[in-house]
């Protein structure tokens, strides 16, 4: 343990005890993290700057504190991003990845790695510099509809309320869930060009007008965040990730050029065995100017029947800023993370994207893998999504009576172009089942059925039940994949692929 840590720990314990007595422990932790602690060693900015890699140890500063976070880096899901702050302050990065702000657990963890104070002169100089650079990177984000349920403000992440999610087969654009990882770029369409380059093809630079000269295709496709329904998985065991309640999904009509047409225009040769992946980069960037990125296999990217679109319209209108204006990728049937917004670059490659979101996030692990044992390199990136369903009505906790016939409704969807063929319902813990009697779908066939199913059905509430009961839904797709029964057996530390039975708890009145 670093020198001075014992005195730091004593100081923190005393501070927390005082805060608990005053009723503001979490706020006190936030306010005092990075405060000067007498008796700790003093370091200069120059001292800190020498520790800028795992080989040299990784030091960072926060306010007046100096921290050696080398041993923490392997446990951090955003390790590559964290290393960008090596040898300097973490404050600009926390302004960008604002999930860290106002989270007492993160401040508490940071203080465990405290090794000293930044000397007074350098602390004042650094604070002045940070203040001068403190323009809010999210200040130009667009306004959002007030009905959206906000899970994080910066970056903005919000979902459609379940109570209205399936009122329309096509999700209205302004109510469609928003999953942003970085600030929304403000793209000047006069300067916009889509760069297409890479292995075995010629370079293209396409304006939006040039992209629109290619044949226009339309598809109805659902986009779903890989972490949708995470809140239900978290109820089994705590995990890391946004609290998606089931509304991080939407169904829209998308229009644009097929990726396969663009690749062919660039001279793509389907017989070139070197080509394995197609990368996408967005125009949204972090403090190091690193863009959001992802990739998909060439088999999906180059297949005209894979229906991958470079979309410039959503529900008959130009994309709005939150949904990727002027161009985004729609990779139907695949995790939302691969549907890159504000598309700036497409590259053909023999290797997968090296972006953080492809390599160190959006992957599944077995339930016994934790942050001490996880190795993201040993798990493939999520592509096709599994079958899922959710009950949207009635609302959780709604009052019902034993013996009552209860109308229930919701959505079901499966990735990979698979169609929903059945939604099974039970109100007695699986002793007896009925089927949803209404399945609203588009006419596309398996394996090119990209849209969701809005379903309606009825169950009978069991008699003799006291206080609460549950209604369960499970969907079956056209490959006869079915949802697993419990979250316990599919739990993973990032809460992705959360597709167990939806179990709606209701209040029973006898």
Contact 113, 125 (CB under 8 A): no
Residue 179 annotated in active site: yes
For residue range 259-318, list pLDDT tens digits in order.
999 999 999 999 999 999 999 999 999 877 889 999 999 999 999 999 999 999 999 999
* CB burial string 114-153: b at 16+ within 10 A, e below: bbbbbbeebbeebeeeeeeeeeebbeebeeeeeebbebee
- Higher local confidence (pLDDT), 261 or 2: 261
Helices and strands in the chain, H and E counts: 13, 28
At residue 133, the pLDDT reads: 60
Query: Of 67, 107, 192, 362, which residue is the catalytic one?
Result: 362
What count of other Cβ atoms lies within 10 Å of the Cβ of residue 213?
A: 10
Residue 277 annotated in active site: no
Return the half-sphere exposure (C-beta side, CA atoms, 13 A cut-off) of residue 86: 20
- Rounded to whole angstroms, how far apart are CA atoms 81 and 49? 17
- Rounded to whole angstroms, how far apart are CA atoms 120 and 225? 45
At residue 90, the pLDDT reads: 86
SS3 18: helix
Q: Where does the pLDDT of residue 60 fall: very low under 50, low under 70, confident under 90, or very high at 90 and above? A: very high
Helix (H) or strand (E) holding 344: strand 343-349
Residue 362 annotated in active site: yes
Nearest to 391 by CA among 500, 246, 498, 252: 246
SS3 396: coil
Return the half-sphere exposure (C-beta side, CA atoms, 13 A cut-off) of residue 132: 6
Query: Of 76, 112, 144, 145, which residue is the catalytic one?
Result: 76
- Rounded to whole angstroms, how far apart are CA atoms 247 and 243? 10
Query: Of 12, 114, 225, 323, which residue is the catalytic one?
Result: 225
- Rounded to whole angstroms, how far apart are CA atoms 245 and 247? 6
Q: With pLDDT > 90 as the criterion, what percentage of the chain qualifies?
A: 80
Q: Where does the pLDDT of residue 40 fall: very low under 50, low under 70, confident under 90, or very high at 90 and above? A: very high
Residue 237 CA from chain centroid, whole number: 19
Query: Of 51, 179, 338, 418, which residue is the catalytic one?
Result: 179
Residue 328 CA from chain centroid, whole number: 16
At residue 96, the pLDDT reads: 62
Domains and CATH numbers, the chain: 5-132 (3.10.120.10), 149-378 (3.90.420.10), 388-508 (2.60.40.650)
Residue 29 has pLDDT above 70, yes or no: yes
Phi, psi of 78 (to 5 degrees): -105, 45
Q: Hey, which of 60-64, 420-424, 463-467 has the most confident mean pLDDT? A: 420-424
- Rounded to whole angstroms, how far apart are CA atoms 13 and 5? 12
For residue range 200-225, list pLDDT tens digits in order.
999 999 999 999 999 999 999 999 99
- Rounded to whole angstroms, how far apart are CA atoms 135 and 92? 10
- Rounded to whole angstroms, how far apart are CA atoms 494 and 440? 32
Nearest to 342 by CA among 208, 244, 222: 208
- Rounded to whole angstroms, how far apart are CA atoms 203 and 230? 41
- Rounded to whole angstroms, how far apart are CA atoms 5 and 175? 49
Query: Of 100, 217, 321, 446, which residue is the catalytic one?
Result: 100
Residue 356 annotated in active site: no
- Rounded to whole angstroms, how far apart are CA atoms 144 and 395? 24
Residue 187 has pLDDT above 80, yes or no: yes
- Rounded to whole angstroms, how far apart are CA atoms 197 and 206? 11
pTM above 0.85, yes or no: no
| Long-range contact pairs involving 430-434 (C-beta distance under 8 Å, separation at least 24) | 430/472, 430/485, 434/458, 434/459
Q: pLDDT averaged over the chain?
A: 91
Residue 91 has pLDDT above 90, yes or no: no
Q: Hey, which of 21-25, 76-80, 137-141, 217-221 has the most confident mean pLDDT? A: 217-221
Lowest mean pLDDT across 28-32, 92-96, 324-328, 391-395: 92-96
């Amino acid at each position: 343990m670093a020198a001075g840590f014992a005195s730091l720990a004593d100081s923190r314990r005393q501070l927390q005890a005082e805060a608990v007595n005053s009723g503001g422990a979490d706020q006190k932790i936030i306010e005092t993290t990075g405060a000067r602690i007498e008796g700790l060693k003093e370091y200069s900015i120059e001292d800190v700057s020498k520790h800028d890699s795992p080989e040299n140890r990784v030091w960072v500063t926060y306010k007046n504190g100096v921290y050696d976070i080398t041993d923490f880096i392997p446990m951090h899901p955003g390790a590559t991003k964290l290393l960008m702050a090596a040898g300097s302050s973490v404050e600009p990065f926390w302004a960008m990845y604002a999930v860290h702000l106002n989270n007492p657990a993160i401040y508490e963890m940071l203080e465990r790695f405290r090794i000293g104070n930044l000397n007074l002169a350098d602390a004042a100089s650094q604070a002045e510099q940070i203040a001068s650079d403190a323009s809010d990177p999210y200040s130009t984000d667009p306004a959002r509809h007030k009905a959206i349920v906000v899970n994080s403000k910066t970056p903005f992440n919000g979902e459609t309320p379940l109570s209205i999610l399936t009122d329309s087969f096509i999700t209205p654009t302004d109510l469609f869930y928003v999953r942003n990882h970085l600030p929304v770029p403000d793209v000047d369409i006069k300067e916009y060009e889509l760069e297409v380059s890479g292995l075995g093809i010629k370079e293209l630079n396409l304006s939006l007008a040039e992209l629109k000269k290619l044949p226009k295709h339309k598809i109805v496709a659902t986009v779903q965040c890989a972490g949708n329904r995470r809140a239900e998985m978290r109820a089994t065991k705590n995990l890391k990730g946004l609290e998606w309640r089931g509304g991080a999904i939407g169904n829209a009509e998308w229009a644009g050029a097929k990726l396969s047409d663009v690749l062919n225009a660039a001279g793509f040769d389907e017989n070139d065995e070197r080509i394995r992946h197609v990368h996408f980069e967005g125009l949204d960037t972090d403090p190091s100017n690193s863009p959001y990125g992802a990739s998909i296999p060439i088999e999906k990217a180059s297949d005209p029947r894979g229906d991958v679109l470079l979309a410039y319209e959503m529900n008959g209108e130009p994309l709005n800023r939150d949904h990727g204006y002027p161009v985004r990728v729609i990779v139907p049937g695949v995790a939302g993370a691969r549907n890159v917004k504000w598309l700036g670059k497409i590259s053909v490659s023999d290797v997968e994207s090296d972006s953080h979101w492809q390599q160190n996030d959006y992957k599944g692990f077995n339930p016994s893998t934790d942050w001490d044992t996880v190795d993201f390199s040993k798990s493939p990136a999520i592509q096709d999504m599994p079958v899922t369903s959710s009950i949207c009505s009635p609302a959780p906790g709604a009052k019902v009576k034993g013996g009552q016939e209860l109308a229930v409704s919701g959505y079901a969807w499966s990735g990979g172009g698979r169609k929903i063929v059945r939604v099974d319902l039970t109100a007695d813990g699986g002793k007896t089942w009925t089927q949803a009697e209404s399945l609203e779908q588009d006419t596309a066939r398996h394996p090119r059925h990209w849209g969701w199913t809005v379903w309606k059905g009825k169950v009978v509430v069991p008699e003799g039940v006291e206080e609460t009961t549950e209604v369960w839904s499970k969907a079956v797709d056209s490959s006869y994949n079915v949802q697993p029964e419990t979250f316990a057996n599919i739990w993973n530390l990032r809460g992705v692929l959360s597709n167990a039975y939806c179990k709606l708890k209701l209040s029973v009145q006898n």
